[in-house]
Amino acid sequence: MYLSYFGIRVTDLRRSADFYMRNFGLQPPPGTELPREGVSEQATIMLVDPNSGQRIELNFYPTGNPYAVPYVAGEGFDHLAFRVDDLEKFLGKLKTEGIHPEAMKHYQGPMMSTPNFRVAYIRDPDDNQIELYDSPGADPDKYHRDQY
């Protein structure tokens, strides 16, 4: 068994697809048509990280669809995590888009399985939480393997 993708509900499919493609380099699979502006029928788009192969499914449900329950930010969803090469540089790029972190933490010391772990949190257009992290001089994936 393996984790295939994360599916999240969005309120504007094209806006969300543009957000993840522009800011995180996610891409639709070859041959996939991007959603048009103002999609009003049920629609889904899968986006793929070309580096890791991880996928996210964006789902839009219009009024009248049985899945179109009132939207509550983060309902049934915790967060997405993106490992970045340089957290401060990446946050600088996001700042030019008007995106600012809501929290930042820097963990150091012998209690951590990685000696230097930096993390920041932002929100996407639908208020879903996104974790951004780096770990200069260490294997940041080891942190997550050891902690979970």
- The range of the structural domain enclosing residue 9 comes to 1-71
Last residue of a domain, one of 50, 71, 92: 71
Half-sphere CA count of 79, side-chain side, radius 13 A? 12
Residues 85, 61 share a domain? no
Residues 16, 67 share a domain? yes
Q: Are 101 and 124 in contact (CB under 8 A)?
A: no
Residues 93, 64 share a domain? no
Percent of the chain with pLDDT over 90: 28
Residues 11, 41 share a domain? yes
Mind giving me the DSSP string for 28-52? PPTTPPPPPTT--S-EEEEEE-TTT
Please indicate, yes or no, whether the overall pTM of this predicted structure exceeds 0.75: no
The two tokens of residue 2 are 């393996």
- Please return the burial class of 99, using the count of CB atoms within 10 Å of its CB with bins 0-12, 13-18 and 19+: middle
Q: pLDDT digit string (tens) for 76-132?
A: 677 888 888 899 999 999 999 999 998 777 766 554 455 677 889 999 998 888 888
Residues 58, 39 share a domain? yes
CA-CA distance, 13 to 85, in Å (whole number)? 28
> Closest by alpha carbon to 127, among 15, 25, 4, 5?
15
